[in-house]
C-alpha cells in the first residue's frame, strides 16, 4: 500500500485536500492512512480525534529543516506539499528525499506541489510592458517552466524559485513531479482549521474599512477556482497514480512539463472590488457616516496596497493586484476527468459569504501566514 505524506493539513488548501481524500469512496483511497507533518501538538490531537486511524501525525519544525525533510520523505512514495510555496529549500528537500527511493524496489515516487499564478505575472507598474498572453498547460507545456526560469534569473521571486526548483530537481533526480499552479482560490474550505481564502477576504476587508474599492490599473486580472474543486485535482492525481499500472509515469505531465493549471473562471481586480462594494452597499454595511455615499473605485498607489494587504511586499502586491496572469487549465480536465462544479454562481455568492464572515470576525488570516513571513 502506498505511503502518502501531506504538508499543510492545518491550512486552507491542505486541510481541504485532506478532508476530501478521507471522504473519498474510491477503492484506491478509502482505506488509506495519511501521514501529516504538524508543528503544534494541539492541532495534531484535533486531527487524530477527528480522523482517527485515517491519519498519523508527525511533529516537525517546518520547511527550513531540510535534513529532517529529506530523511522523512525518503520513507514515502507520494508527497503532497500544500504548505507555503515561498520556501524553496524545504520543497526541494522533499524531492531529494523521494529520490532516495528510486531503484530500491519502491513504486515510482511522486511529488504533488502547490504554487501560484503570480509566478507568470508581469510587473506593469515598475517594469517595461510585455505582451499579455494566456498560458495553456497543454500546448505550452515546457515553455511555461522555461519562461518562469528566465524570469527568475532576472529577478528571483521566492514562490517562483520554489516551483522552478521543485520541477527541475525532479527532472534531474528521476522523481515524478507535478506543480498545481493555482489562481485566486475562493470559497469555504472543509479542513479543521483555516477555512478562508485570501484574495476576496483581503479586498472585502479593505472595502469595508475604507468605504470604497481600489485598483492599481484597469487591466489587472485573476483567474479563480473554488477550493473544493482545487482539492479534487489532488484527489484525482492520487487516484490516477494509484490506479494505473504505470502509476501515471508517462501519462501525467512531470518534471519540466509538470505544471498543471487549475483555473475555472476569470475576472479583473477592479471587478472583485466592485463585487465587494455591491455586497456591502446592498446589506447596509456601507455607506457609513465617514465613507463615500456612492460606490467608488479609486486608483491607489502600489505602496499603500502593499502595506495594507501584502505584508509590505511591493513585488507580491504588484504581481497579484496589478499584474496579468491568465491561465487555461486543459490537462486536469483531459487527463484526470476533472469537472469543476462550483462556477460563476458560486463565485458571485462568495462575496456575500465573505461579507458575513468579516462582520462576524471570522476572517483573521493574513498574507504573512501565506508566505511564511512577517513584516
Four-way CATH pick for 4-197+224-264+325-341: 2.60.40.10, 1.10.940.10, 3.20.20.370, 3.40.50.720:
3.40.50.720
SS3 content of the chain, % helix, strand, coil (to 5): 45, 15, 40
Q: What is the pLDDT of residue 84?
A: 84
Residue 278 neighbours by CB under 8 Å, 6+ apart? 295, 351
**What integer pLDDT is reported at residue 249 of this predicted model?**
98
Please, are residues 55 and 234 in contact by the beta-carbon 8 Å criterion?
A: no
pLDDT along the chain (375 residues), means of 10: 92 97 98 97 98 98 96 97 94 98 92 98 96 96 97 97 98 98 98 95 96 98 98 98 98 98 98 98 98 98 96 96 98 98 98 95 68 48
Cα-flanking dihedrals φ and ψ of residue 361, to 5°? 60, 40
- Residue 369: the pLDDT is 59
129, with CB counted inside 10 A (0-12, 13-18, 19+), is exposed
Residues 232-291: pLDDT tens digits? 999 999 999 999 999 999 999 999 999 999 999 999 999 999 999 999 999 999 999 999
Chain centroid to CA 22: how far?
Answer: 20
What is the reported pLDDT for 363? 75
pLDDT value of position 375: 36
CA proximity to 247, closest of 331, 176, 337: 176
How many whole angstroms separate alpha carbon 351 and alpha carbon 248?
Answer: 38
- Please give the pLDDT value at position 265: 98
- CA angle at residue 230 from 226 to 235, to 5 degrees? 140
* Residue 81 bridge partners (DSSP): 7, 113
Tell me the C-alpha distance between 150 and 319, whole Å. Answer: 16
pTM value is 0.96
Which residue in the block uniquely carries the three cell numbers 519502491? 106
CA–CA gap between residue 152 and residue 342 (Å, rounded): 33
Phi and psi of 328, rounded to 5°?
Answer: -120, 120
Helix or strand or coil: residue 358? Answer: helix
Q: Please answer whether residues 325 and 267 qualify as being in contact, where contact means their C-beta atoms are separated by less than 8 angstroms.
A: no
Question: In 12-37, which positions are buried (b, 16+ CB within 10 angstroms) versus exposed (e)?
Answer: bbbbbbbbbbbebeeebbeebebbbb
pLDDT given at position 371? 58
Amino acid at each position: 500500500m502506498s505511503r502518502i505524506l501531506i504538508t499543510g493539513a492545518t491550512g486552507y488548501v491542505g486541510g481541504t485536500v485532506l478532508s476530501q481524500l478521507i471522504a473519498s469512496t474510491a477503492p484506491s483511497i478509502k482505506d488509506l492512512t495519511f501521514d501529516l507533518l504538524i508543528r503544534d501538538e494541539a492541532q495534531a490531537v484535533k486531527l487524530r480525534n477527528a480522523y482517527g486511524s485515517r491519519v498519523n501525525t508527525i511533529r516537525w519544525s517546518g520547511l527550513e529543516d531540510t535534513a529532517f525533510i529529506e530523511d522523512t520523505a525518503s520513507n514515502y512514495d507520494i508527497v503532497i506539499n500544500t504548505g507555503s510555496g515561498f520556501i524553496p529549500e524545504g520543497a526541494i528537500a522533499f524531492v531529494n528525499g523521494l529520490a532516495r527511493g528510486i531503484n530500491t524496489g519502491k513504486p515510482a515516487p511522486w511529488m504533488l506541489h502547490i504554487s501560484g499564478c503570480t509566478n507568470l505575472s508581469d510587473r506593469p507598474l515598475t517594469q517595461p510592458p510585455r505582451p499579455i498572453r494566456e498560458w495553456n498547460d497543454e500546448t505550452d507545456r515546457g515553455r511555461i517552466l522555461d519562461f518562469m526560469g528566465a524570469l527568475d534569473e532576472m529577478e528571483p521571486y521566492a514562490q517562483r524559485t520554489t516551483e522552478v526548483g521543485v520541477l527541475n530537481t525532479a527532472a534531474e533526480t528521476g522523481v515524478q513531479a507535478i506543480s498545481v499552479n493555482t489562481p485566486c482560490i475562493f470559497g469555504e474550505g472543509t479542513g479543521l482549521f483555516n477555512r478562508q481564502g485570501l484574495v476576496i477576504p483581503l479586498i472585502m476587508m479593505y472595502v469595508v474599512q475604507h468605504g470604497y474599492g481600489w485598483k492599481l490599473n484597469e487591466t489587472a486580472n485573476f483567474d479563480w477556482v473554488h477550493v473544493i474543486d482545487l482539492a479534487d485535482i489532488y484527489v484525482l492525481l492520487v487516484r490516477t497514480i494509484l490506479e494505473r499500472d504505470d502509476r501515471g509515469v508517462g501519462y501525467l505531465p512531470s518534471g519540466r512539463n509538470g505544471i498543471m493549471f487549475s483555473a475555472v473562471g476569470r475576472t479583473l481586480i477592479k471587478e472583485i472590488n466592485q463585487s465587494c462594494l455591491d455586497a456591502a452597499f446592498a446589506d447596509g454595511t456601507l455607506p457609513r457616516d465617514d465613507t463615500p455615499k456612492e460606490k467608488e473605485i479609486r486608483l491607489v498607489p502600489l505602496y499603500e496596497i502593499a502595506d495594507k494587504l501584502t505584508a509590505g511586499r511591493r513585488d507580491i502586491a504588484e504581481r497579484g493586484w496589478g499584474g496579468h496572469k491568465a491561465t487555461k487549465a486543459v490537462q486536469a480536465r483531459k487527463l484526470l476527468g476533472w469537472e469543476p462544479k462550483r462556477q460563476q454562481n458560486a463565485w458571485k455568492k462568495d462575496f456575500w459569504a465573505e461579507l458575513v464572515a468579516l462582520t462576524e470576525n471570522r476572517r483573521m488570516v493574513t498574507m504573512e501566514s501565506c508566505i511564511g513571513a512577517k513584516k
